[in-house]
Structure 1
Amino acid sequence: MGLDLFATLRDHATQRGDEAAVRVIGPLADEHPDLTWAQLDRQVGAVAAQLGDQLPQDAVVMVLGHNRPSRVPVFLGVLHSGRTVFPVDASLTAIEFQQLVDRADVDAIIADDVVLPRLESVGVPVIRTDDLLQHDTEPTPRPTDRSNDAWLLLQSSGTTGGPKIVKRSGPSLDAVAHNVAEAVGLRRDDRVVAAVPLSHSYGIENGMLAPIVAGACALHHVVPADQPGRGFDPTLAVTSGATVLPGVPAMFEMIDRMGAGRGKLRLAYSAGATLPPALANRLEERDGLRLGQLYGSTEIGSVTFDREPHHVGKPMTGVDIRILAPEQPDPSLPLPDGQEGHVAVRGPSMFSRYLGPDELTADSLTDGYFLTGDLGRLDADGALQITGRLKLLIDVGGVKVNPIEVEQVLVSHPQVAECVVVPDPVSPTINRVKAVLTAANGEVDQHVLRSFLRERLAAHKVPRTFEVRAALPKSPTGKVLRRKVQVPA
């Protein structure tokens, strides 16, 4: 079975082929002409044809690069070829790339030039993005049969050990693309900022798939080649003529600080972390920019939306949300409206399974409902409010950091006896990563530790500060008490 998305893309290419599907914004906009619907459809077909000739039908293809127009035809081309696409954060280290290649049994990598130096010893074929897109052929017919049900692999943040790898099916992608376009109310004349990385489910669904379903133009901020670590400038959403901005709280905080106004934005919404009410109120009162909220995760996709900032909205089409008792979650015994509990979700955009042992998937599901790890409540109208987290993830500017992953690397250094990684808030929307540790031999060189971590972890995971203590607070059974660690010694 093929994706309905490709039929939609073909319709756009046939009916309005000269209109822009993807546009570059920012200082380098003049160097990048619009990618039209006809060009996008043709490039998707060209990528699919080449991969069909080069790779087995059940191949897993890792895609590496920052947000730019080429990411769209490459991502879709892998899917169109019948292979599994695995988009990965381009800021990871060589060691992290190798670990993911091994875990996901990757057959080939498509990468932008900026990533190539970190792939020299990865052990699988590497295809340059630009080389792949140099070939131009007529689009191939949609694949109607697949040898596996894993259309998309995504890396989740995880809560224990290393991050999990999530399998998503084709129907789940069609469902979430239509759900987001419908819930948000995207239109053909919209210009949607693709600011969230296209290695994240939020970015893929809201910055690529939903705009294609609606026929809206996606806007990409391309950074100079010599500044690969430079992030998205949120003020471009105001100055570029964008009409829709899916973002994270840190982006909206920057827009607020700079007093950038609203430009032509008719809709902006936040996800990925708690949106401070004071920030939402300021932007609405001063600029007339009302921030909506969207809720979802890697495993379930985008599942709720509302134009109001005070809750994360009502379930999208086909989505069922129940609030369960945290100590004994049972979907047949949901808690009454207004009562806080564990948020459980079932819907058409849900993942198929985790990569790995069956128990990994079974532990996260109960009677077909995914246990999100979030605390929340439903009001009388069925709108969901998130009140807290059962999980340990640290939000760093919209990117989730798994503290246990960082701790496992840090404690492997001979200077460290024990450690706990915690959030270090610097504003209502921005956290930094902090490591609290005890020394193995009396001395700790922070410069040495930071260098050690940078070789093994992406930059956003490396603690900005280190605090050395004589001992860490523990329970009678010897378990480190994380909440007490966050209290100054």
Structure 2
Amino acid sequence: MTQRSWWGAELLGRHADDMVWARAADREVTFGRMRRETAWLANVLEQYGIRAHSTVALYANASFTHLWTLFALWSLGAQVVLRETPPGRWSPDVPPGAQPAQFSVSLGESRRRPDDFVDECEVLVRRHSDGRPKAGGHCLVQFSSGTTGRPKAVGRSPRSLLAELDRLTAVDGAPHHGERVAVLEPLTRSFGLIGGVLHSLAVGATVVLPAARTAVATVRAAADAHVVLGNPHHFRPLAWAEPGELPHLRLAVSSGDALQPEIPAVFHGRHGVRVGQAYGTTETGLVAADLTGRFDPAVVGVPVPGARTRVVGGVLEVHVPESPYLYDDTPWTGGWMSTRDLVTCDPRTGALRLRGRVQGVGDTSVDLLRIESVLRAHRHITDAVVLGVGPIEAHVAGSAELDGEDLRSWCHRFLGGAPAPDRYHLLRELPRTANGKAVRDRGVLRRHRTHPPGACRCISW
């Protein structure tokens, strides 16, 4: 496969016409049909004026149409800006800092339940007079989650995507030819699209998509799969599925957020498969992995082949040859990008232990995720986010019975001599991003805890 053909004939054309490419809600699509639909849509989209170097915002929904529209746009040489459709409506809004696209393609605008899967849906193309053509070699634009601030527009080149596919293929236990891979993550997100769909396409695995974003649909999609790819939210219902409901499962991989330790313990006890992890960023793609779950949940794995990493001041950095940020004029010097994740690297195995997100200046050896885990174990706490490293602030959500003195005693009891929070902010609920990740930005949390009035109280020592 070359950069010139990465999107098309070589990748899409390497498997037999009658082989099943994808299935969802008891419906199947073969590789032959996928190729025909992709070619037909490419011809239609070209009639609307979409060419090489065109920029196209693709507003996705749950359908096969979404994927072959994406492939068709890439086949024309367009730069695709992946966007999630707001529930129940189409939105032309552009995130701050992003340049407007020349075209927008929205799928299934008339559908009342856009999260429910359908085979096909209508494709609506709009041309925007103020849109700008593609600049640079990026074929894919996604947006970072915004957990620590405003989301950024991130560009990926064919070279970057091919390198990520090579890295994943080289990881022990990765999905292989003939397997059924349940991709539970939305396909607008990096690991769902690249680690799920594109990798399956490259090796000849069948993609299985959930019929809806519900716990029942999650279990049903996983029931006939050999491999399950999801995030911690998906593994909650799967962990409590009845033993025997996942009879073919050999691999389960969580990504996108920290995995709480009780989930993999229950999952392994019921299904006999350990939950592994894949760690990466929107900017870099896959960085580290422990697909088979041989490490404990706080360890996200070892750097994958081809990924260059280093730990500076307790913070993980990844080498990225050129800036992934489309609209940032800051010079890209040295090629090292800070993930802002606090990690400890095991000198014996090279495994990376995640300890939280860096906030402020202070002791970067603090394990913030361990403090969060201790807080979540409290009977009156439903969720927790701990920011540090100086001072350490715990934002916790739970019942009105929460008491500051009790929290302090609880942390000191279960943390032993390890650092404990200096301040506790008690909220009704913690804010989350659109894709469900806990917000770890002090400014956002501060605004959240002061609105509405009386929503929290602060206790400090």
Q: TM-score over 0.5 for the alignment?
A: yes
Q: Corresponding residue for 1:220? A: 209
What letter matches 2:37 in structure 1? Q
What letter matches 1:369 in structure 2? W
In 2, Cα distance between equivalents of 1:460 and 1:277:
19
Q: Which has the higher contact order (CA 8 A, sep 6+)?
A: 1
Q: Corresponding residue for 1:337? A: none
Q: Corresponding residue for 2:41? A: 47
Give the alignment partner of residue 175 of structure 2, picking from 174, 186, 195: 186
Provide the aligned length of Structure 1 versus Structure 2. 372
Give the alignment partner of residue 4 of structure 1, picking from 6, 23, 26: 6
Q: Is the 8 A contact 1:291 1:309 kept in 2?
A: no
Give 1:185 deviation, angstroms: 2.4
Change (3 A) 1:95 1:10: closer
2:22 counterpart of 1:22: yes
Q: Corresponding residue for 2:404? A: none
Q: Corresponding residue for 2:57? A: 62
Q: Is the 8 A contact 1:181 1:211 kept in 2?
A: no
Give the alignment partner of residue 105 of structure 1, picking from 100, 107, 110: 100
Give the alignment partner of residue 341 of structure 2, picking from 374, 380, 384: 374
Give 1:356 deviation, angstroms: 1.7
2:384 counterpart of 1:384: no
1:422-437 alignment, distance < 5 Å = 424=397
Q: Tell me the SS of whatever aligns to 2:94.
A: helix
Question: Higher helix share goes to which structure?
Answer: 1
1:301-340 alignment, distance < 5 Å = 301-306=285-290, 307=292, 308-310=294-296, 311-325=299-313
Q: Corresponding residue for 1:35? A: 29
Change (3 A) 1:171 1:486: farther
In 1, Cα distance between equivalents of 2:458 and 2:35:
51
2:165 counterpart of 1:177: yes
C-alpha RMSD of the superposition: 4.0
**Deviations 1:427-480 (Å, cap 9, x if unpaired)?**
xxxxxxx9969xxxxxxxxxxxxxxx9xxx9696999x97658799xxxxxxxx
Q: Is the 8 A contact 1:303 1:315 kept in 2?
A: yes
Q: Corresponding residue for 2:266? A: 282
Change (3 A) 1:487 1:275: farther
**Deviations 1:171-207 (Å, cap 9, x if unpaired)?**
1111112322332422111111121011111211122
Q: Corresponding residue for 2:227? A: 244
TM-score by length of 2: 0.69
Give 1:259 deviation, angstroms: 3.3
* Unaligned stretches of 5+ residues in structure 2: 114-119, 125-133, 361-368, 373-384, 386-392, 400-424, 440-444
Give 1:93 deviation, angstroms: 8.3
Q: Tell me the SS of whatever aligns to 1:265.
A: coil
Give 1:257 deviation, angstroms: 2.8
Q: Corresponding residue for 1:271? A: 255
Q: Tell me the SS of whatever aligns to 1:176.
A: helix
In 2, Cα distance between equivalents of 1:95 and 1:110:
10
Q: Is the 8 A contact 2:177 2:204 kept in 1?
A: yes
1:204-215 alignment, distance < 5 Å = 204-215=193-204
In 2, Cα distance between equivalents of 1:191 and 1:158:
32
In 2, Cα distance between equivalents of 1:257 and 1:69:
29
Change (3 A) 1:421 1:323: closer
Q: Corresponding residue for 2:240? A: 257
What letter matches 1:248 in structure 2? N
Tell me the percent identity. Answer: 24
TM-score by length of 1: 0.66
Q: Is the 8 A contact 2:107 2:122 kept in 1?
A: no
* Unaligned stretches of 5+ residues in structure 1: 119-128, 134-145, 224-228, 326-340, 396-402, 404-419, 427-433, 438-452, 473-483
Give 1:4 deviation, angstroms: 2.7
Give the alignment partner of residue 342 of structure 1, picking from 315, 319, 325: 315
Q: Is the 8 A contact 2:211 2:217 kept in 1?
A: no
Q: Tell me the SS of whatever aligns to 1:206.
A: helix
**Deviations 1:258-310 (Å, cap 9, x if unpaired)?**
43553211100111111122321222233202111110010111121112242
Q: Corresponding residue for 2:128? A: none
In 1, Cα distance between equivalents of 2:395 and 2:51:
43
Give 1:77 deviation, angstroms: 1.3
Q: Tell me the SS of whatever aligns to 1:46.
A: helix
Q: Is the 8 A contact 1:58 1:148 kept in 2?
A: no
Q: Corresponding residue for 1:445? A: none
In 2, Cα distance between equivalents of 1:109 and 1:80:
17
Change (3 A) 1:318 1:56: same
In 2, Cα distance between equivalents of 1:159 and 1:287:
32
